[in-house]
Amino acid sequence: MIPTAVVSARGEQRIRGGHPWIFASDVDDVAAEGGVVVEVLGPRQRFLGRALYSEQSQITLRMLTRDDEDVDEGFWRRRIQAAIDYRTSLNIKATAYRLVHAEADLLPSLIVDRYGDVLVVQALSQAMDRQLPALVPMLVEQVGATGVLARNDPRVRLLEGLEQRVEVLFGNVPDLITVHESDVEYEVDPRHGQKTDLFLDQRENREAAALYARGRMLDCFSYHGGFALRLAGHCDTAEAIDISADAVSRIGANAVRNKLTNLQAREANVFDELRRLEQAGEHYDTVVLDPPAFAKNKASVPKALAGYKDINLRALRLLNPGGYLLTCSCSYNVDEATFAETIYEASIDSRVSVTVVEKRMQGRDHPVLLGVPETYYLKCFIVRRVA
């Protein structure tokens, strides 16, 4: 018997609109065990495609194809190869980048990050978790990887009825891996860092910021110093602030590794620290704001916007005329227009006139699938204080 899932008229409309996610409320009938690939049928039994089926998740179906093609070994190989070929075409000047970006690479719920010869994978749905043992040898072969680590510890796996675990799936995965972005070396701890350890989605924004960075620089929410390390060589002095003691200690080690003597890192809450610096009359020529997602869901958007406004307002006040602010939001629930409005409000309240120098987003190795707003999460503006 072919495993099938029958969707409602609204589900069919969503599939025809190109969205890969079909929610439980739009799935009328399923004849399949959890975690398999199902044939998706419309309310009148019309074939709509094939999808990953999750029996517990609110995202019940994740469309793989709208064509009547087999989802066999050849199918997975072609999809993975297409994702790899795209990254090769980008001519990335780094040894760490995203190789597979889930829905946007038509490989829903699969993340693959490359750290040199090691791949770090995440399977974020029941069916992708089940596919993983078959996909790992293909990835190893297609990339020539020497090790594969599963960072299957994100909490979203619990919604899929999956356990959280970190394990080596292939070869040798060292505790620490050295990678580089442009001329900067970073030490990566793939088993323990946030996400898969580097914020790879900011790589191109770090490059862009290097064009403007100068003078006295402040990197807020610095984590392991992604921006601070990349920009310090362009600045007289660089300061990095993060609330995590562990992150701050890693910045120090990375600064030594890159022979940067003008970079200081300190542990502090950015909200308090920006106030303190303002009261102390400090000024900077370059400020970076890269906070965590303040709006984890729709209900938290108003509070998140107040947070974004507060830090942007204070950062603008700290800027010298002619100085640059690179400001980000990685909250999917705060869209680009709303974030832009928040920066505008911050500029009004701080009585600082700014021009938008660049409007940016997540790096091209984290593509956005049109029609799927969930894949556009990172907004980044580079603004310049005019007066």
Q: Candidates 85-93, 118-126, 161-169, 243-251: pick the segment binding ligand SAM (CB under 6 A).
A: 243-251
Query: Which DSSP symbol is given to 102?
Result: G
- Which two tokens mark 250? 């890693």
CB 307 to ligand SAM: min, Å:
9
Q: Candidates 159-167, 215-223, 313-321, 347-355: pick the segment binding ligand SAM (CB under 6 A).
A: 215-223
Q: Which residues are catalytic?
A: 330
CB 303 to ligand SAM: min, Å:
13
What's the Cα-to-Cα distance from 234 to each of 123, 186, 212, 228, rounded to whole Å? 39, 18, 9, 10
Q: Candidates 10-18, 158-166, 224-232, 354-362: pick the segment binding ligand SAM (CB under 6 A).
A: 224-232
Residue nearest to ligand SAM according to CB distances in the complex: 226
Any contact of residue 199 with ligand SAM (CB under 6 A)? yes
Any contact of residue 151 with ligand SAM (CB under 6 A)? no
CB 203 to ligand SAM: min, Å:
8
- Burial of 181: CB neighbours in 10 Å, binned 0-12, 13-18, 19+: buried
Helix (H) or strand (E) holding 199: none
Any contact of residue 22 with ligand SAM (CB under 6 A)? no
Out of 222, 312, 333, 350, the only residue in the binding site for ligand SAM (CB under 6 A) is 222
Any contact of residue 365 with ligand SAM (CB under 6 A)? no
371 touches 18 (CB < 8 A)? yes
CB 120 to ligand SAM: min, Å:
15
Complex with ligand SAM: residue 87 or 206, whichever CB lies closer: 206
Out of 71, 247, 255, 368, the only residue in the binding site for ligand SAM (CB under 6 A) is 247
Complex with ligand SAM: residue 152 or 222, whichever CB lies closer: 222
Count of all residues that appear for the chain in the document: 387
Any contact of residue 269 with ligand SAM (CB under 6 A)? yes
Q: Following DSSP, what letter does each residue of 235-289 receive, concatenated?
A: SSEEEEEES-HHHHHHHHHHHHHTT-SSEEEEE--HHHHHHHHHHTT--EEEEEE
State how beta strands 96-101 and 59-65 pair.
unpaired
Any contact of residue 202 with ligand SAM (CB under 6 A)? yes
Helix orientation angle between 126-143 and 73-89, rounded to the nearest 10 degrees = 60
Complex with ligand SAM: residue 53 or 199, whichever CB lies closer: 199
What residues have CB less than 8 Å from 70, skipping those under 6 apart? none
Q: What is the largest CA-CA distance in the chain?
A: 73
What's the Cα-to-Cα distance from 126 to each of 24, 119, 377, rounded to whole Å? 14, 21, 23
- Site residues (CB under 6 A) for ligand SAM, limited to 316-355: none
Any contact of residue 294 with ligand SAM (CB under 6 A)? no
Out of 292, 302, 321, 371, the only residue in the binding site for ligand SAM (CB under 6 A) is 292
Any contact of residue 224 with ligand SAM (CB under 6 A)? yes
| Residue among 166, 194, 330 nearest 250 (CA) | 194
Residue ranges that bind ligand SAM, judged by CB under 6 A: 199, 202, 221-224, 226-227, 241-244, 247, 269-271, 290-292
